[in-house]
């Protein structure tokens, strides 16, 4: 059995023809005998468009393969009330859900995740970070009734229950989330970050990347073996800590302002960043 994992396709930001992407990805997955396709968030800046895409992909894949997704922060920007994001009824939506892979002990657990500023030098000044976020960061548009620390606490509570249930069922776990569970997954500080203002903005940027508390929980579980996260664009090598291997499979963005791709076009970039695991 082969599973494939991708994230951060940003079809709208990358100005990719949706029909062409949908047909290409579905055909490629079927042509390479992929049984399960998991997507780690950030397909569109619109949750409804992301839901529609995966509904149609599941139809195209038919009985030969299945597709599941979680939401990234970009998906949550539009048509994404908090209760819907937390409890969306779509059969392919994996947040707070799981899939047991037939004929194996593997359970794939999904959770969108969040962040608590723990990657930042300003982690102990949450009010200051929150003020910066509200002024500069796109996530300020997301419908969220809690502050970021409470939202991350909710995530940890959800994941703990998911892991406890998996342990009782005797499962090994593959965990899918959007935000980074380890600061070590971030790229080294760019050389152009030099002035005090640049340093300040860089630390604020790091605050929104994920939470080390999630990595701690996953590593302490004893049953999580593979973790797939997105959110961080660019190339990030696999790291392994306490028996847990962390992967990043983000496609990233190419536009007039930046080019995060290693390939010449979206479809080659998707193939090159796609993580395939044979179980």
pLDDT, tens digit, 9 for 90 and up, residues 115-130: 999 999 999 999 999 9
Identify which of 243, 247, 105, 86 has the alpha carbon closest to the alpha carbon of residue 172.
Answer: 105
Average pLDDT, the chain: 96
Full-prediction pTM beyond 0.85? Answer: yes
* More confidently predicted of 95 and 233: 95
**Over 90: is that where the pLDDT of 32 sits?**
yes
Q: What is the pLDDT of residue 256?
A: 82
C-beta separation of 235 from 152 below 8 A: no
Q: What is the mean pLDDT of residues 176-183?
A: 98
C-beta separation of 53 from 44 below 8 A: yes
**Over 90: is that where the pLDDT of 102 sits?**
yes
**Over 80: is that where the pLDDT of 257 sits?**
yes
Angle between helices 18-31 and 47-61 (to 10 degrees): 40
Q: What is the mean pLDDT of residues 255-266?
A: 91
Q: What is the pLDDT of residue 163?
A: 98
- d(C-alpha 192, C-alpha 38), whole Å: 35
**Over 80: is that where the pLDDT of 230 sits?**
yes
How many degrees, rounded to 5, is the angle at CA 222 between CA 208 and CA 38? 55
Q: pLDDT category, 234, cuts 50, 70, 90? A: confident
């Amino acid at each position: 059995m082969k599973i494939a994992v991708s994230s951060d396709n940003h079809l709208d930001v990358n100005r990719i023809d949706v029909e062409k992407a949908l047909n290409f990805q579905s055909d490629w997955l079927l042509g390479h005998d992929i049984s399960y396709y998991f997507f780690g968030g950030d397909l569109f800046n619109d949750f409804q468009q992301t839901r529609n895409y995966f509904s149609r992909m599941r139809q195209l894949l038919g009985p030969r393969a299945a597709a599941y997704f979680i939401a990234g922060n970009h998906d949550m920007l539009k048509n994404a009330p908090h209760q819907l994001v937390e409890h969306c009824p779509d059969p392919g939506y994996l947040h707070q859900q799981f899939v047991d892979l037939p004929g194996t002990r593997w359970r794939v657990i999904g959770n969108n995740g969040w962040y608590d500023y723990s990657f930042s030098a300003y982690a102990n000044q949450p009010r200051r970070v929150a003020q910066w976020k509200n002024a500069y960061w796109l996530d300020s548009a997301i419908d969220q009734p809690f502050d970021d620390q409470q939202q991350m606490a909710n995530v940890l509570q959800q994941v703990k229950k998911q892991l406890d249930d998996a342990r009782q069922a005797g499962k090994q776990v593959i965990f899918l989330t959007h935000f980074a569970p380890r600061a070590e997954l971030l790229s080294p500080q760019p050389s152009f970050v030099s002035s005090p203002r640049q340093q300040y903005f860089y630390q604020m940027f790091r605050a929104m990347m994920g939470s080390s508390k999630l990595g701690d929980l996953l590593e302490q579980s004893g049953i999580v073996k593979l973790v797939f996260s997105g959110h961080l664009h660019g190339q990030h090598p696999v790291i392994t800590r306490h028996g847990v291997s962390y992967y990043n499979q983000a496609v990233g963005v190419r536009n007039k302002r930046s080019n995060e791709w290693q390939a010449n076009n979206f479809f080659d970039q998707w193939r090159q960043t796609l993580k395939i695991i044979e179980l």
